Amino acid sequence: MNNQNKDQNAEIISNNKSSDKKTSKNIVEIKNLKKSFDHGKITALNGLNLEIKEGEFVSIIGPSGSGKSTLLNMIGALDKADVGDITVSGIDLIRKKDLSDFRSQEIGFIFQLHNLIPNLSVLENVEVPMFESKISGKEMRKRALELLDYVELSDKIKRKPTELSGGERQRVAIARALANKPSIILADEPTGSLDSKTGQVILQRLKELHEKENVTLIMVTHDMNVASLADRTIEVLDGQVQN
């Protein structure tokens, strides 16, 4: 794909928001957040406090069991807190009962193991998040094709995920995460299952996405080299942010 097409596709995926990379506005506000599992025997988050600005690229680091993935799940409304307050994109995630629209419209998820649907084609996987939207099937296909061109996979649209390399599957996951023009991308160890060379390609794509678009990128990683690419690194230990 030539540079002209890349620029055109960058405009296509734009959220049409302010061109400023970061603002003074908080897109994530968390106060005294607590979460435990196994009837309180396992404490994942222990009074965690955190603020993230709109348009920031933040990496979250910490050892296994520190609570970083639980934190990501809280921000994405994949789980509910036991105690505390969490507001994301102006939505109170504690008190709002139905969060399905929030997840589909505001959040794009990129997981370590891709979570692609194996019996669907690459194109169909990217279309899935748009099924609950009000756009037509023709518009869904058009957007999915544009996004796959953006991640340089327009020649693989009919393939199944099992026919792709790990790096290609992760690029499909990036395209899928962008489908509904989310304000926040949550990436949980996005390069964890990839070799170093392929991982660098994925990281470059994510960083390019962050730099060109007004999207907040929050990434969990064990790798300090990966974390160093972010605007800010947050360390989570024993369920709390370390100052």
Kindly report, residue by residue over 86-126, the tens digit of the pLDDT: 999 999 999 988 898 898 889 999 887 778 999 999 999 99
CA angle centred on 163, ends 196 and 5, rounded to 5°: 70
Model confidence band, residue 204 (pLDDT cutoffs 50, 70, 90): confident
Q: Is the pLDDT of residue 10 over 80?
A: no
Model confidence band, residue 70 (pLDDT cutoffs 50, 70, 90): very high
Lowest mean pLDDT among 1-5, 29-33, 193-197, 230-234: 1-5
Between 2 and 26, residue with greater pLDDT: 26
Sheet arrangement for strand 184-188: 107-111, 184-188, 216-220, 57-61, 232-237, 240-242
- CATH fold group of domain 3-18+55-76+98-242: Rossmann fold (3.40.50)
Lowest mean pLDDT among 205-209, 226-230, 236-240: 205-209
Model confidence band, residue 19 (pLDDT cutoffs 50, 70, 90): very low
Domain extents for the chain? 3-18+55-76+98-242
Across 212-241, average pLDDT: 89
- Digit-coded pLDDT (tens) for 119-173: 999 999 999 989 877 788 899 999 999 999 988 899 999 999 999 998 899 889 8
Model confidence band, residue 76 (pLDDT cutoffs 50, 70, 90): very high
CA separation for the pair 65, 45 (Å, rounded) = 10
Q: What 3-state DSSP class applies to 102? A: helix
Q: Is the pLDDT of residue 82 over 70?
A: yes
CA separation for the pair 152, 113 (Å, rounded) = 20
For the chain, give the mean pLDDT.
86
C-alpha dist (Å) from residue 197 to 35, 168, 203, 234: 36, 13, 10, 25
Position 16 scores a pLDDT of 41
Contact 154, 181 (CB under 8 A): no
Q: Is the pLDDT of residue 11 over 80?
A: no
Position 5 scores a pLDDT of 53
